[in-house]
Structure 1
Amino acid sequence: MDPIMIEIGPLTVRWYGFLITAAIFVGYYLARRYVAAKGYDPEKFEEAVFWAVIAGVIGARLVYVLTSWGDFAANPISALYIWQGGLAFHGGILGGLIPMVYFARKNGVPPYVYLDAALPGVALGIIGGRIGNLMNGSDTVGRLTDWAIGYTWPAWATGFPGICTSTGQLAWGFCSGEVVRGPVHLTQIYGAVIGLVLLGLVFYWWRQKRPAGWAFWNFVLWYSLLRSLVEEPFRLNPLWWPVYLNEKAGIGFFTATQLVSIPLIVLALYMLYRMGRSGEEAGA
């Protein structure tokens, strides 16, 4: 795949950067409308979004680099090359959450209103990020598989240098031209589908007569579940707790993301239970 969307003279626009930027702007538009519909000043929301985007990108890149240091150790400066892809969702959420909560309190708005408002942008970012990963080539590469859905990268597709040497889990198949050759799980598409499902669910949660934060914790719950079951088992990531590995099918448990998702799922279920109980008591 080709990571470059368009080149005009010295200007190069990459798919990854373009799609993430588009997700931010569309997400911001939808969030403003949501905040206004809840009776709060959307103009004050702008500052929160500005700093949340910056902190989110920094947090996402920092966590990705720290958990994939083997890919950057030889050339540490490449950790700054965000346009090439490589953002950790959990780091982005943590980084963006802090300024969102801070500015919500500063503006006299319940923090959950801002967090709920930001969800479409997050879902769009997941979609755009995964499509950008796909165009980058071997970014978020899938495991080799003998399943019928396995995809073989075309000969002209390029990827990131080092992908074949940093994982150490290629038991069969082979590497060539920086990209894994042989049928692989197209995990970039799996991830994009997860984002699309979550986007639809966010609009459904928005319409429900539930307290602020209901959409946010549902998003945390369902993203963690879907990522852990639909995408992560098939990605060629190191197994931090190697409970199961089927190299021919291309399935593995547990990666760092799957392990982190377990407490997040428990926390989300607890928060949703509390909100549900509060709603029942208020309606009694």
Structure 2
Amino acid sequence: MENTIEPIDRVAINLGPIQIYWYGVIIIAGALLGLWLAIRESERRDLPKETFADLVIYAFPVSIIFARMYYVIFKWEYYAEHPIKIFAIREGGLAMHGVLIGAVLSIIVFAKVRQISFWKLADILAPSLILGQAIGRWGNFINQEAHGGPVTREFLEHLYLPDFIINQMYIDGTYYHPTFLYESLWNFSGFIVLMFLRRVNLRRGELFLTYIIYYSFGRFFIEGMRTDSLMLTENLRMAQVVSVVLIFVAILIIWYRRKNGYANIRYLDNGI
């Protein structure tokens, strides 16, 4: 019967007083896979093999901090009353746009210190970022968050979803849209697109900017289905506003860099 459905245990490993949650395991797995891909590509693009390993040492914790800060700011009414919960990252609550802000700032500083083109680093990282996002959404699945509005079990079955996904979408007596899955599939598709575009030899910087446009376009529509959106105002979802701004800014940057001759170097060209 429906009321006997039990959610997947959020704890992956229980070592007595130490508990390792699936959310963290999945986020780290996505980051490590993305790092591996970036390291492989950096060797082909004439960068020292330790470049991205060094970058991630700084960028990963900075991105997590920004992701949490972003989320907490827009949920401040709750966290002001429960300040200790600010540090309960294992329960979820990492905003992807906060990750992007932290990652971009880290790359800018790292590129300046190492005297490497920011755009070259960002282009190499673009497929890794969207792949990490695709994997990371499954952490939301385990936590039963980032879902959409109510649906019937029949609706989910008509999507030909496996039972473990359908059952995990049964929350407090109601089935919900698996918007985590929609975004994960959108991002996996984006990963394939970006890997193909590497061979097209776009102008430097445009692989990363294509990632921004692609991700933001899908996020805008999927966000409209969610029930847990961070709100800018009563009627404006923050992620949708940011997505529109990012698309506009990315297109503007592409136009500006081409117009002023800043994008003459191609992705496959040598040099840093």
State the TM-score bracket (shorter-chain normalisation): 0.7 to 0.9
CA change 1:262–1:158 in 2 (3 A) is closer
Determine the structure 2 residue equivalent to 1:95. 102
Q: Aligned match of 1:26 in 18, 33, 51?
A: 33
The residue identity in structure 2 corresponding to 1:200 is I
Alpha-carbon separation, structure 2, partners of 1:259 and 1:37: 37
Higher RCO by CA contacts (8 Å cutoff, separation 6 or greater): 2
Q: Secondary structure at the match of 2:93?
A: coil
Matched, 1:185 2:167: no
Counterpart check, 1:54 vs 2:46: no
Q: Could you tell me how far 1:63 is from its partner in structure 2?
A: 0.2
Report what 1:64 is aligned to: 71
Match of 2:208 in 1: 216
Please give the alpha-carbon distance, in whole angstroms, between the structure 2 residues aligned to 1:90 and 1:215: 18
Partner residue in 1 for 2:188: 196
Deviations 1:204-248, CA, capped at 9 Å, x for gaps: 22222122211110011111110001x1011013654666xxxxx
Residue 79 in structure 1 maps to residue 78 in structure 2: no
Shift of 1:15: 1.3
Q: Which residue of 2 aligns with 1:266?
A: 248
- Structure 1: how far apart are the matches of 2:77 and 2:196? 41
* % identity of equivalent residues: 25
**Any idea what SS the aligned residue of 2:209 has?**
helix
1:234 maps onto 2:225 in alignment = yes
Gaps of 5+ in 2: 1-6, 158-162, 267-272
Instruction: Show the 5 A alignment for 1:270-281.
Output: 270-275=252-257, 278=261
Q: Compute the displacement of 1:76 (Å).
A: 1.4
Query: 2:263 and 2:212 mapped to 1: Cα distance?
Result: 22
Mean CA deviation greater in 93-102 or 58-67 = 93-102
1:225 aligns with 2:205: no
Cα deviation for residue 135 of structure 1 reads 0.7
RMSD value, Cα:
3.1
Matching residue of 1:168:
none
What is the TM-score when the length of structure 2 is the normalising length? Answer: 0.81
Once the two structures are TM-superposed, the CA of residue 69 in structure 1 deviates from its matched residue by 2.3
| 2:149 alignment partner AA | R
Map of 2:139 onto structure 1? 132
> TM-score, normalised to structure 1's length?
0.78
CA contact (8 A) 1:3 1:16 kept: yes
| Counterpart-to-counterpart distance in 2, 1:111 and 1:238 | 30
Distance 1:27 1:182 in 2: 35
What is the letter of the counterpart of residue 19 of structure 1?
I
Question: Cα deviations across residues 174-226 of structure 1 (Å, max 9, x unaligned)?
Answer: xxxxx453232111111211221221122122222122211110011111110
Asked if the contact 2:205–2:263 (Cα under 8 Å) also holds between the matched residues in 1, the reply is no
Query: Closer, same or farther in 2 for the Cα pair 1:78/1:46, shift >3 Å?
Result: same
SS in 1 for 2:175: coil
